[in-house]
Amino acid sequence: MKTINCTTKDTNEYQILIGDGILEELGQMDNFFGNYNKIVIITDKNVAKYYLTKVKKQLRKLGIDVFAIIVTPGEGSKSLAEAEEIYYKLNEIGVTRSDLIIALGGGVVGDLAGFIAATYLRGIDFVQMPTSLLAMVDSSVGGKVGIDLGYTKNIVGSFYQPKLVITDPKCLNTLNDKYLTDGMAEVIKYGCISSSKLFLRLMSFQYQEDLIDDMEEIIAKCVTIKRNVVEADEKESGIRRILNFGHTIGHVIESYFKFKRYTHGEAVAIGMYQITKMSCREGITTEKALENLQYILETYGLPWELPEMDQSEVMKILSSDKKFEGDQLNVCVIPKIGKAEIVKIKKDQAIELFKN
Ligand SMILES: NC(=O)c1ccc[n+]([C@@H]2O[C@H](COP(=O)([O-])OP(=O)(O)OC[C@H]3O[C@@H](n4cnc5c(N)ncnc54)[C@H](O)[C@@H]3O)[C@@H](O)[C@H]2O)c1
């Protein structure tokens, strides 16, 4: 098992525990869970099928009252309507500030349950138990929680850190391949922005089985990179922007196709390639880095080519990007694999990124 400590200004230090089979050991974590009277697990139907009974059984060994709230899988559950329903359920259960919420699931459950924890009773403790690759390497760490308003993603939310993150890479055995590929885009991103060693390791795998066997190590590496960045810049005013590598273009693509044609990871993959193509043209990035990026995206079944998009519609979506400061946009580029920097580009330069 690997333990990574995370300290942010607003919270005390918390731990991120990563270990194969760790969900089977929750019943031995009396020193943590024993501090709470009741525990409410928020999860979705797919995850509940595999892991809810296991987690409940372990926690009940500690003599704690355990409740579960199960939501419908998918982004649609990150809504005000779902949050309202959950607030009522917590009220019925009689949750107080000495109780705990556990987010057991992918990024949707983590963002939703974290948002509930941040707002119910003006904040109660919560634990992230990520079960998708994306949630393990990205959304469970860093404290961003929130919900969507229609197609506008994550527009209502907060920075609210969990008390503990418990990651069992074995959960990936039941994750659909589509979501594994999706999460790999973020893993590749960490290699690009901070670790050429991780990037090379990812390039060396020949079979998915080899990758899965190495997951504990890979997740720990990604989480350490994210932890370092988040500790340095909790509220995303500086260095944290490097985590958005590929995301500016990715978000536009996701929104343009109304979240139907591309998954988040696929859109980010296209974004990483296209921004690197631009920085290569500008002489910031080496040709070799661009070639390697294309190779690795293809190896993991991720796209890199820009789809045809109507430019006026792109402009509309791009203009609403939260990362604009006046008419300048901060974007992350990689001079070489494993190194990131932020450059400012003007709106008219940004629109060029969407032209084939
Ligand atoms: N807070 C952050 O910093 C942050 C960062 C990145 C993404 N996000 C958010 O994360 C969300 C996407 O997360 P996601 O990709 O995990 O999506 P998700 O939560 O919808 O999970 C993907 C699918 O896999 C299923 N699933 C999850 N774990 C499983 C398992 N172990 N076995 C079987 N099925 C499993 C889920 O039920 C779902 O159908 C988006 O809402 C995005 O905005 C948040």
CATH number where 69 lies: 3.40.50.1970
For the CA atoms of 241, 157, 136, 59, what is the dihedral angle to 10 degrees?
150
Using the mean position of ligand 1's atoms as its centre, give its distance from the Cα of residue 286 in Å. 33
**Of the residues 114, 143, 174, the one at which a domain ends:** 174
Q: Does 235 lie in the same domain as 321?
A: yes
Q: For position 22, what pLDDT does the model report?
A: 98
Q: Does 57 lie in the same domain as 134?
A: yes
353 vs 95, higher pLDDT: 95
Query: With a 6 A CB cut-off, is 236 part of the ligand 1 pocket?
Result: no
Q: Does 304 lie in the same domain as 233?
A: yes
Mean pLDDT of 114-129: 98
Is residue 255 predicted with pLDDT exceeding 80? yes
Query: Could you read off the pLDDT of 155-212 as tens digits, one per residue?
Result: 999 999 999 999 999 999 999 999 999 999 999 999 999 999 999 999 998 777 788 8
Using the mean position of ligand 1's atoms as its centre, give its distance from the Cα of residue 136 in Å. 9
Query: Could you read off the pLDDT of 26-56 as tens digits, one per residue?
Result: 999 999 999 999 999 999 999 999 999 999 9
Q: Does 26 lie in the same domain as 38?
A: yes
Pocket perturbation via mutation, ligand 1, pick of 179, 186, 222 by most ligand atoms within 8 A of CB: 179
Q: Does 287 lie in the same domain as 151?
A: no
Q: For position 190, what pLDDT does the model report?
A: 98
Query: With a 6 A CB cut-off, is 252 part of the ligand 1 pocket?
Result: no
Is residue 322 predicted with pLDDT exceeding 80? no
pTM above 0.85, yes or no: yes
Distance between CA atoms of residues 322 and 247, nearest Å: 12
Determine how many CB atoms are found less than 10 A away from the CB of residue 352. 12
Q: Does 337 lie in the same domain as 219?
A: yes
Residues of the chain with pLDDT > 70, as a percent, come to 98
Q: Does 181 lie in the same domain as 148?
A: no
Query: With a 6 A CB cut-off, is 142 part of the ligand 1 pocket?
Result: yes
Q: Does 182 lie in the same domain as 106?
A: no
Query: With a 6 A CB cut-off, is 106 part of the ligand 1 pocket?
Result: yes
Q: How confident is the model at residue 8 (pLDDT cuts 50, 70, 90)?
A: confident
Query: Could you read off the pLDDT of 205-217 as tens digits, one per residue?
Result: 877 778 888 999 9
Spatial CB neighbours of 261, under 8 Å, sequence gap ≥ 6: 307
Query: With a 6 A CB cut-off, is 226 part of the ligand 1 pocket?
Result: no
Query: With a 6 A CB cut-off, is 47 part of the ligand 1 pocket?
Result: yes
Q: Does 336 lie in the same domain as 287?
A: yes
Spatial CB neighbours of 177, under 8 Å, sequence gap ≥ 6: none
Mean pLDDT of 224-235: 87
Is residue 268 predicted with pLDDT exceeding 70? yes
Spatial CB neighbours of 218, under 8 Å, sequence gap ≥ 6: 137, 187, 198, 201, 202, 211
Q: For position 261, what pLDDT does the model report?
A: 93
Q: What is the DSSP letter of 176?
A: -
CA distance between the termini of the chain? 46
Query: With a 6 A CB cut-off, is 185 part of the ligand 1 pocket?
Result: no
Is residue 233 predicted with pLDDT exceeding 80? no
Q: Which atom of ligand 1 is nearest to the CA of 111?
A: 1
Query: With a 6 A CB cut-off, is 109 part of the ligand 1 pocket?
Result: yes
E-strand ranges in 182-245 read none
Query: With a 6 A CB cut-off, is 174 part of the ligand 1 pocket?
Result: yes
Spatial CB neighbours of 206, under 8 Å, sequence gap ≥ 6: none
Q: For position 225, what pLDDT does the model report?
A: 97
Is residue 351 predicted with pLDDT exceeding 90? no
Query: Could you read off the pLDDT of 277-286 as tens digits, one per residue?
Result: 999 999 999 9
What CATH number corresponds to the domain at position 269? 1.20.1090.10
Is residue 356 predicted with pLDDT exceeding 70? yes
**Of the residues 174, 190, 221, the one at which a domain ends:** 174
Q: Does 185 lie in the same domain as 154?
A: no
Retrieve residue 199's tokens: 């990037």
**Of the residues 174, 208, 233, the one at which a domain ends:** 174
Is residue 10 predicted with pLDDT exceeding 70? no
Least confident piece of the model among 102-106, 166-170, 237-241, 245-249: 237-241
Q: For position 116, what pLDDT does the model report?
A: 98
Structural domain containing residue 295: 177-352
Q: How confident is the model at residue 231 (pLDDT cuts 50, 70, 90)?
A: confident
Domain total for the chain?
Answer: 2
Q: Does 118 lie in the same domain as 8?
A: yes
Q: How confident is the model at residue 246 (pLDDT cuts 50, 70, 90)?
A: very high
Q: How confident is the model at residue 321 (pLDDT cuts 50, 70, 90)?
A: confident
Mean pLDDT of 19-32: 97
Q: For position 318, what pLDDT does the model report?
A: 86
Pocket perturbation via mutation, ligand 1, pick of 42, 45, 108 by most ligand atoms within 8 A of CB: 108
Using the mean position of ligand 1's atoms as its centre, give its distance from the Cα of residue 108 in Å. 5
Q: Does 188 lie in the same domain as 78?
A: no
Dihedral (CA of 7, 157, 341, 324) sign: negative
Is residue 11 predicted with pLDDT exceeding 70? no
